[in-house]
Structure 1
Amino acid sequence: MSKTVSKEELKDYIGKETGVSDWFLIDQDRINKFADVTLDHQFIHVDPEAAAQTPFGTTIAHGFLTLSMLAHLATSSMLSIEGTKMGVNYGTEKVRFLSPVKVDSEIRARVKLVEVTEKPGNRLLLKNEVTVEINGEQHPALIAEWLTMVFV
């Protein structure tokens, strides 16, 4: 669950981890549904028999599926700001896909606040470094610098 802080307290969290989400299962049904939505039916995602013949040994989640899960995973681990009217996805600075997420793996997000920039119109631009970890794996699935515009 996210922690709520005042606008003034935000500076105290820069460079610090703000939270870690719960583990979340990436199963074949979710991978297949993502393939249907994005029209990306590459065999390494949706064909278990063919994917078994690859170095991965099984199907893997789309990198963009893993990235899209930030909306669920990281949100619970990012700071909430008192008086927020709304927050919107503002994009990413960097995204690196480091390890594949194999079917039936669990992932979670580890979030660190990197930067806070005040913007006109009572807005704050937050940059968070989000690392998506894979349960039991040494290397993360991805690391992203995620931008959120917060209207306070």
Structure 2
Amino acid sequence: MSSQHGFTLLELMVVIAIIAILGAIAVPAYQRYLQKAAMTDVLQAVTPYKTEVELCALEQGSLAGCSAAQLGLATLPPSTYIANLDVAQGVISLSGQQALAGLQVTLTPELNRDAGTLRWQQHCQSDGAEPTLLASCRSILRDNGNDQP
């Protein structure tokens, strides 16, 4: 009598089912990880622009002259995740690409002349209706938890 070698069809199907289930769990988790990493890159790229707007607003007492051209801000160096970035009247607008495709972010400063403070309001919008992307955007770009949800 000869002995059989190898796996049965049922055993192979069970292994494929296990791999599919693990993949269904791992892929969304990995996508969220990539989005958070990309949003951290956006935060790092936007911070110098926020600082320049804050200095301009506090020195002038107004946001009227706080635009990229008037501040002499350098253009954004090539970025993996930011397609374009603009500063106009203190408002920083950017659009995402690659892992952040479809994401539009607006950072609006609110100047309190009496207190001499400036707070940022962020607005994240996504064309692709990606709730995890919007949640990552709101979480990473928040201003001490005082931003709009």
**Structure with greater helix percent:** 2
Q: Which has the higher contact order (CA 8 A, sep 6+)?
A: 1
Q: Does the TM-score normalized on the shorter chain lie above 0.5? A: no
Give the alignment's TM-score, normalised by structure 1.
Answer: 0.31
TM-score (norm 2): 0.31
The structure richer in strand per residue is 1
